[in-house]
Amino acid sequence: MIIGLGSDLADIRRIQKTLDRFGDRFVQRVFTEIEQARSERRKERAASYAKRWAAKEACSKALGTGLRMGVAWREMGVANLPTGQPTMILTGGAKQRFLSLVPAGWEGRIHVTMTDDQPYAQAFVVIEALPADHPQPPYPTRG
């Protein structure tokens, strides 16, 4: 069952201006180490950060909180499964909110899709709950 849905559209030019103005201070405040490592390797660095920005916004909407109620930027991080498929790693207040949404006896899954086409980056996040005995591929967990 779907228990959360969020989407966001980010302007890559705006992220580029923010990177130019605030540089590492912005990157450290918003993005996890995994996101930074992935984005810094990209030729289109700003587009990579913009997709991850959009995914965080979409995730906060799927959690039903936005960036408040104990949910912070670095508590949501885009990571990739062994298949390459993106997902979100949650920690702190974001993880607590996620766990509160999942019914007892069910397992929560977070599905993420991201894309960019200059000058925009877009992300969708779906939070799903499945019965705990439902066979699933392994998903990364941290925190």
132 DSSP 8-state letter: T
Q: What is the dihedral of CA 34, 77, 75, 52, to 10 degrees?
A: 110
What's the token pair of residue 70?
Answer: 């104990």
Phi-psi region of 20 (alpha: psi -120 to 50; beta: other; left: phi over 0): alpha
Tell me how long the chain is.
143
Taking alpha carbons only, the member of 116, 122, 125 closest to residue 54 is 122
Q: Is 57 annotated as a binding residue?
A: yes
116 appears as a binding residue in the annotation: no
Residue type, 74: R
Task: List residues forming the annotated binding site for Mg(2+).
Answer: 8, 57
Binding site: residue ranges?
8, 57
